[in-house]
Amino acid sequence: MSNSEQAPKVGLDAVGLTNLGGVMWNPTAATLYEEFIMNGEGIIAAHGPMCGETGKYTGRSPEDKFIVEESSSKDKIGWGKVNRPFSEEKFDRLLHRVQAFLQDEMVYVQDCWAGADRELRIPIRVITQHAFHSLFSRNMFIPVTDPEEQRNHTPKFTIINAPGFQADPAIDGTRSEAFILAHFGKGIILIGGTSYAGEIKKSIFTVMNYVLPLRNVLSMHCSANEGPSGDTAVFFGLSGTGKTTLSADPKRRLIGDDEHGWSDNGVFNFEGGCYAKVIRLSAEAEPEIYATTRRFGTVLENVVVDEHTREIDLNDASLTENTRASYPITQIPNAKLDGVGGHPRNIIFLTCDAFGVLPPISRLTPEQASYHFLSGYTAKVAGTERGVKEPQATFSTCFGAPFLALPANIYSDLLAAKMRKHNATCWLVNTGWSGGSYGVGSRIKIAYSRAMVNAALEGKLDKAKYMKDPVFGLDVPTEVPGVPAEILNPRNTWSDKSAYDKKARELVGLFEKNFEQFAQLVPAEVKAAGMTA
Which residue among the candidates 54, 58, 134, 244 is catalytic per the annotation?
Answer: 244
Any idea what DSSP says for residue 6?
G
- Does the annotation count 264 as an active-site position? no
Run of H or E including 44: strand 43-44
Q: Which residues contact 189 (CB under 8 A, 6 or more apart)?
A: 157, 158, 159, 160, 180, 181, 182, 183, 203, 204, 207
Which residue among the candidates 18, 72, 154, 239 is catalytic per the annotation?
Answer: 239
State phi, psi for 170 to the nearest 5 degrees: -65, -35
Contact present, 420 and 366 (Cβ < 8 Å):
yes
Which residue among the candidates 117, 172, 231, 258 is catalytic per the annotation?
Answer: 258
- Does the annotation count 258 as an active-site position? yes
Q: Give the side-chain half-sphere CA count within 13 A for 273.
A: 24
Which residue among the candidates 183, 324, 336, 343 is catalytic per the annotation?
Answer: 324
Residue 133's nearest CA partner among 299, 22, 328, 302 is 299
- Does the annotation count 60 as an active-site position? yes
Q: Which residues contact 308 (CB under 8 A, 6 or more apart)?
A: none
Pairwise CA distance, residues 186 & 206, whole Å: 15
Q: Which residues contact 381 (CB under 8 A, 6 or more apart)?
A: 352, 354, 388, 391, 438
Secondary structure of 198-222 as H, E, C letters: HHHHHHHHHHHHHHCHHHCCEEEEE
Which residue among the candidates 186, 201, 243, 418 is catalytic per the annotation?
Answer: 243
Residue 303's nearest CA partner among 287, 322, 285, 286 is 322
- Does the annotation count 345 as an active-site position? no
Q: In what order do the strands lie in the sheet with 43-44?
A: 43-44, 50-52, 299-301, 324-328, 273-277
Which residue among the candidates 65, 202, 252, 380 is catalytic per the annotation?
Answer: 202
Task: Specify the amino acid at residue 127.
Answer: I
- Does the annotation count 502 as an active-site position? no
- Does the annotation count 90 as an active-site position? no
Run of H or E including 69: strand 65-69
Calculate helix-pair angle for 497-515, 366-375, nearest 10 degrees.
80
Pairwise CA distance, residues 46 & 160, whole Å: 31
Q: Which residues contact 338 (CB under 8 A, 6 or more apart)?
A: 116
Calculate helix-pair angle for 198-211, 131-140, nearest 10 degrees.
40
Instruction: Report the DSSP beta bridge partners of residue 22.
Output: 106
Contact present, 207 and 122 (Cβ < 8 Å):
yes
Contact present, 254 and 334 (Cβ < 8 Å):
yes
Q: Which residues contact 197 (CB under 8 A, 6 or more apart)?
A: 54, 132, 133, 136, 275, 299, 301, 324, 326
Give Cα 118 distance to the centre of its chain: 22
Which residue among the candidates 54, 60, 174, 363 is catalytic per the annotation?
Answer: 60
Any idea what DSSP says for residue 190?
E
Instruction: Report the DSSP beta bridge partners of residue 236.
Output: 222, 349
Residues marked active site are found at: 60, 202, 221, 239, 243-244, 258, 324
